[in-house]
Chain A
Amino acid sequence: MKYVDEFRDGGLARGLAAAIARAAVSGRVYRFMEFCGGHTHAIARYGLEDLLPANVQLIHGPGCPVCVLPGGRLQMAIELAERPRLILASYGDMLRVPVAGDSLLKARARGADVRMVYAVDEALALARRHPEREVVFFAIGFETTTPPTAVAIRRARAEGLGNFSVFCNHVLTPAAIAAILAAPDAAVRLDGFIGPAHVSTVIGSRPYEACAAAHAKALVIAGFEPLDVLQAVLMLVRQVNSGRAEVENEFTRAVSRDGNLRAQQLVAEVFTPRAHFEWRGLGRLAHSALAIAPQWADFDAEVRFSLSERVLCDHKACECAAVLRGQRRPQDCKVFGTACTPENPLGSCMVSSEGACAAHYSYGRFRDRTTQGESA
């Protein structure tokens, strides 16, 4: 496949790995966090950690939309789904996320009408087909899924679809990166970030600049293919070696400094920033999420159904919060691979293939090296 196979070439990967090994100064440890679950997935799937020298370490970040949504918001979605005459449409992975012994799948088994959709347009289609029912789209995700939700809300108004609304849980990437950097131990634990691929196609590289400068951390935006990740690591090592802390862009084939202005404009029209929002693992963060703007309140399920905020704790054995902060590795969790597996997840990080635990379970657990992480 064009623009895929070339970016997975084994020979080039070995060349890049060798270049990284030579650039990395021995005796110094380099720790880079890949923010996105898409990168976590690529790193696990292609065994990229095995190609890197022992002193170049990758730490999984919180950039998996399914993983960071806190239990309370999921509980609210389940309560919504159980209302009579209501159809809740959700991206597939959300259905399996456990919350306090429950899940949307279990709610469906009890009789709630929960539909799995691949795109928000399918939720619109449900609203057209069932004018006698309320159709709520359970919107989750970072800046990549937000513009499609904005388009759907505008379309619903244009078509006069009075039975369509959105339970909005869209979150903002730069706020999460800032929160990780603001943690007291971040300065010593992290040398830089592999920055988001698809999120950056929308928001551009500019929004990371203030954060990288304020915390003196390098950030390299990278595509989701394995060679993109390796090239970004090389660029990060070079930045650290020369004492720079800049935003660089490896994914120039799809990301510009300004991003997709049309998408940004649609988002600004339909959404408004929330004062704060709860994240699994990162806690309550200021200006880290979007709500539907007041002029579109007819389409806001939180308003329409007078939803009240729920706060729930994770399962007590679950280490997801620390995994999402990059403070623990999946294999450090006591229930990893035993009580918690992709077939039977106990925590949110084991659900989506981009979740750190699921990625490690599927690809990495047979290669666990006892030395990994000890050189720190």
Chain B
Amino acid sequence: MCLAIPARVIELLADEEALVELGGVRKRISLALVEGVAVDDYVIVHVGYALNRLDPAEAAKTLALFAEAGLIDGAASKAAP
């Protein structure tokens, strides 16, 4: 029940709710736990509630780290016997 994927906010609704899109499916969720969410933000949704906002800059940094680990390795393994 912990599995959840980031969802994009497509519309803010009354009562601290929002409409999000999750892999092509639209869903109504609660924003009661997060402040300052705007349309097009990505949020982590769990049991119908957004737990936090996703930080796009940090996501890009993490992806760059993945690529870097692979690259450093590629160079090193060529040098290795």
Alpha-carbon separation in the docked complex, A16 to B65 (Å): 10
- A234 in the interface, Cβ–Cβ < 8 Å? yes
| Contact (Cβ within 8 A) B3 A15 | no
- A354 in the interface, Cβ–Cβ < 8 Å? yes
CB distance from A161 to the nearest CB of B (A): 15
Among residues 21 to 72 in chain B, which have CB atoms less than 8 Å away from a CB atom of chain A? 23, 30, 32-35, 42, 44, 46-49, 51-56, 58-59, 61-63, 65-67, 69-72
Interface majority SS on B: helix, strand, loop or mixed? mixed
Alpha-carbon separation in the docked complex, A114 to B79 (Å): 63
| Contact (Cβ within 8 A) A262 B33 | yes
A1-B5, A198-B4, A354-B2 known; A121+B69 contact, CB < 8 A: no
What B residues does A253 contact at CB under 8 A? 54-56, 58-59, 62
Alpha-carbon separation in the docked complex, A15 to B69 (Å): 7
Quick one: closest A residue to B71, CB to CB?
A15
| Contact (Cβ within 8 A) A254 B49 | no
| Contact (Cβ within 8 A) B66 A12 | yes
- A214 in the interface, Cβ–Cβ < 8 Å? no
| Contact (Cβ within 8 A) A260 B46 | no
Alpha-carbon separation in the docked complex, A141 to B2 (Å): 9
Alpha-carbon separation in the docked complex, A197 to B8 (Å): 19
Alpha-carbon separation in the docked complex, A323 to B33 (Å): 34
Ordered by A's residue number, 9 sampled pairs between the chains whose C-beta atoms are within 8 Å are A12-B67, A15-B67, A22-B73, A37-B2, A141-B47, A144-B2, A198-B2, A202-B51, A231-B66
In the complex, besides A64-B2, A231-B65, A354-B3, 9 extra interface pairs with C-beta distance below 8 angstroms are A2-B42, A15-B66, A141-B47, A145-B1, A252-B61, A260-B33, A263-B33, A352-B1, A353-B3
Interface residues of A (CB under 8 A from B): 1-4, 6-7, 9, 11-12, 14-16, 18-19, 22, 36-38, 41, 63-66, 91-93, 118-122, 141-142, 144-145, 147-148, 151, 197-198, 201-202, 224, 227-228, 231, 234, 250-255, 260, 262-263, 266, 352-354
